[in-house]
A and B are shown apart, each in its own frame.
Chain A
Amino acid sequence: MRSMPMRKDESTQPIYEQVDAIYRSESRRVFATLIRLLGDFDLAEEAMQTAFAAALEQWPREGVPANPRAWLVSTARFKAIDALRRRARLNSSIMESMGPLEASPNPIEADQPEIEDDRLRLIFTCCHPALPPDAQVALTLREVCGLTTEEIARAFLTSAPTMAQRIVRAKAKIRDACIPYEVPARAELPNRLDVVLRVVYLVFNEGYTTSLGPTLMRHDLSSEAIRLARLFLELLPDPEAEGLLALMLLHESRRSARTTPDGEMILLEDQDRSLWNRELIAEGIRLVRRAFASRRLGPYTVQAAISALHAEAPSSAATDWSEIVGLYDLLLRIEPSPVVELNLAVAIAMRDGPRAGLSQIEGLLAKGELENYPLAHSAKGELCRRAGQMDKAKASFEKALALTSQEQQRRFLQRRLAEIK
């Protein structure tokens, strides 16, 4: 969490650290509640800023209140209404935005369950299906996680003005389409939950799989996604959310083993398993077990279970490939997709030998859907290589190379091509 966007000067020095710590731990919660009370993202942000400025000024004199969050929320609300009134006196057109504010009941009891729900409301609003996916991601990172526009732009390799416009448009859409600030009703919940989980996983993958640009930045995105999933689970326990968190933790556990010091990609089977983070694995496995016990299996949970089997295996050869084939079969039934079929084919190859997998992959490629998917061709190349069919392997690796622009993958494919020549 960022520091307060405020100057530290002599007058605020003594209390600054304390207020800053409260900003880090409470600002997103305060913000989420203020959106509900004030009905507008920008107004809420400003009101919160005012309240923190007031805290810096008043707390040295009056002491830090027993419940800082409640103090901040009521101060922000009071000051926002006050500012609107003042502006309204000067400019009559603002009067119209006063209606709902005056009407809202005096709210703030700090530990009311509503206040916890506000962060959930915020997540569901940022991940509203009426918003385009890239806007959902940008808004979630800025409003829920507290990242700055510039940080999000850097992480997604785009310019700050482009990202800022995306966020402005998303907020305008929320305002104009009157997207309600609420946790969806039970009937709607499964679909809305899917969108939230997809946004979280997108953020994670952006940080994990693609490694264009500065790696450090991208790593931050993965930890942000994990933090977000933890927060979401805390607010709304759900087996698929558990499954997703498990999946991300298990991926994350291999981070330092998946590339060489100079950034070259290392395949799962060649990784030094002693580098895997045992703590993350243990937590991931615990979560998978819990999610499995719910008997409502979703795709993230099944993928996490597959990942957990890899994590538990001492080596690639000692992996329970039969179990993995079974889980891919299950995944295919829950969420049919050619990419899952491809993974199933690879698992079959690991269980029954390269030729068995190869015939599966060739069948898949013949269907055409994976024709432009580089990983399909590189998997085929790999199985051909293992089956001793070097000419076919070469053709497949070349095809994959022509299809991918991702630098690490390109270098990996070039190494493979050099090896079989």
Chain B
Amino acid sequence: MKYMCFGYKDEKKWEQMSESEKNRLFDVCFAYDDELRANGHFLSGEALEDASAAVTLRIKNGKVSVTDGPFVETKEQLGGIGVIEAKDLNEAIALWSKHPALGASATGFEIRPIVDMTAMMDASKQRRKAAGKS
């Protein structure tokens, strides 16, 4: 099973960290990524720029409206995502519990199972093929 983990962070706290503190955190986080990679767990991971760099699209009166800032304004903002392969939800929990960012730059993680879309995509392909023929 694939699980995506959303890491939330307090951006103010992050800004207050010194350069060396940040570097130390990068080191332990990347080392942990390497460990996940070596064990066949790591699929992908991305860090996000601050929420101030975000733009949000919404539909208003049938038109796309663009505003600056994140989708939801909260104290804790999405700071990064990671995707892992794990046996089950408990293994995913165990793996993310050990992540060095948790309690350091990240204030919390949300773990969600990723839906396997393969069958749905195949079915959709069939439908589109059939529609093209008629």
Contacts and interface: CB of A to CB of B under 8 A. Distances in A.
B90 A86 contact: no
Interface in B90-111: 90-91, 93-95, 97-98, 100
B89 A164 contact: yes
Interface of B: 1, 24, 27-28, 31-32, 35, 38-41, 85-91, 93-95, 97-98, 100, 113
A410 interface: no
B27 A167 contact: no
Interface in A137-161: 142, 148-151, 160-161
A65 to B, nearest CB: 20
Contact of B1 (A5, A42, A53): A5
Contacts of A142: 88, 90
Interface string A113-154: 000000000000000000000000000001000001111000
A17 interface: no
Contacts of B40: 6-7, 49, 53, 56
A150 B98 CA distance: 21
A266 interface: no
A148 B98 CA distance: 20
A178 to B, nearest CB: 20
B94 A46 contact: yes
Contact of A168 (B85, B86, B93): B93
Given A49-B41, A53-B38, A83-B35, A90 B89 contact: no
A56 B35 CA distance: 16
A59 to B, nearest CB: 14
Given A49-B39, A50-B39, A148 B28 contact: no
Interface residues of A, number: 27
A142 B89 CA distance: 11
Interface string A87-128: 100110000000000000000000000000000000000000
Given A42-B94, A49-B41, A53-B38, A91 B100 contact: yes
- 6 closest cross-chain pairs (CB), A and B: A148-B88, A5-B87, A149-B88, A42-B94, A6-B40, A164-B89
Nearest to A12: B40
B72 to A, nearest CB: 22
Interface of A: 2, 5-7, 42, 45-46, 49-50, 53, 56, 83, 86-87, 90-91, 142, 148-151, 160-161, 163-164, 167-168
A49 B95 CA distance: 11
Contact of A7 (B38, B85, B87, B100): B85
A142 B86 CA distance: 14
Contacts of B39: 46, 49-50, 53
13 contacts: A5-B1, A5-B86, A6-B40, A46-B39, A46-B95, A49-B41, A53-B39, A86-B31, A148-B87, A148-B88, A149-B90, A150-B1, A164-B90
Contacts, number: 66
Contact of B38 (A42, A50, A164): A50
Contact of A5 (B32, B85, B94, B98): B85
A232 B126 CA distance: 49
A7 B39 CA distance: 11
A7 B35 CA distance: 16
A288 B31 CA distance: 57
A83 B89 CA distance: 23
A49 B42 CA distance: 13
A5 B85 CA distance: 7
A5 B23 CA distance: 33
- Residue among B90, B94, B113 with max Cβ neighbours from chain A (10 Å): B90
B88 A150 contact: yes
B45 to A, nearest CB: 16
Contact of B91 (A45, A50, A83): A45
- Residue among B28, B32, B40, B97 with max Cβ neighbours from chain A (10 Å): B40
Nearest to A147: B88
Nearest to B35: A83
A90 B39 CA distance: 19
A91 B94 contact: no
Nearest to B27: A90
A87 B41 CA distance: 18
B89 A45 contact: no
A151 B41 CA distance: 20
Contacts of A45: 87, 91, 94
A45 B41 CA distance: 13
A5 B43 CA distance: 13
A376 B70 CA distance: 61
